[in-house]
Amino acid sequence: MAAGYVRPARPEDAGEIARIQLATWRVAYRRILPRHVLDNLDEAYLARRWGAAVQEPPSGAHRVLVAVEQAAQSYLVGFVASGPADADALAPDEPAEALASGVAAVTDLLVEPRWGRRGHGSRLLAAAVDHWRADGLTRAVAWAFDADAATRNFLGSTGWEPDGASRALDVDDMLVPQIRLHVAIPETAEENSSADR
């Protein structure tokens, strides 16, 4: 029987994180982003960026966690990257104080599609919440493509809701709408598990 767990990313995971990101984007966003943009993403460039994110995070509260599927062999199957909210978490023309201190921002939460529906996304999110709570963060935000029903439904099933903020990313002269979701971080793990029932 297969089992899964979450651990902090290691420098040697950077290439696999980049591969998962590309594989997932090319499936999940194929109807959202222009095909040539997805086809031209540079895996080596992404791996270097993930290596830097793992080895030289901006703060101790910035983390990359990976999900591992463990059966006869172990496989990296997904990851989450988050940290305290910064200007990238703001909507256009939103003042910096709109996201006060104490807010976590998810920049990526991806599980490779072939490993979906095995609890990896939930384990990644739960592990991130544990870290946010330990860091004293009380709320979290994440941007999702408006047309990305899978991400919106997954986060919605765990209590995340739109907070009214929106933006459009300019992707090779194509505006791609996004909405921001938010959630209060439970004060204890017990609150979190009872809210899931």
| pLDDT tens readout for residues 39-70 | 999 999 999 999 999 999 999 999 999 999 98
pTM recorded for the entire structure: 0.91
Amino acid 74: pLDDT: 86
CB atoms within 10 A of CB 184: 12
Cβ atoms of residues 123 and 131 within 8 Å: no
The residues near 101 (Cβ < 8 Å, ≥ 6 apart) are: 84
The string of pLDDT tens digits covering residues 128-144 is 999 999 999 999 999 99
H or E element at residue 47:
helix 43-55
What is the C-alpha separation between 9 and 191, in angstroms, rounded? 27
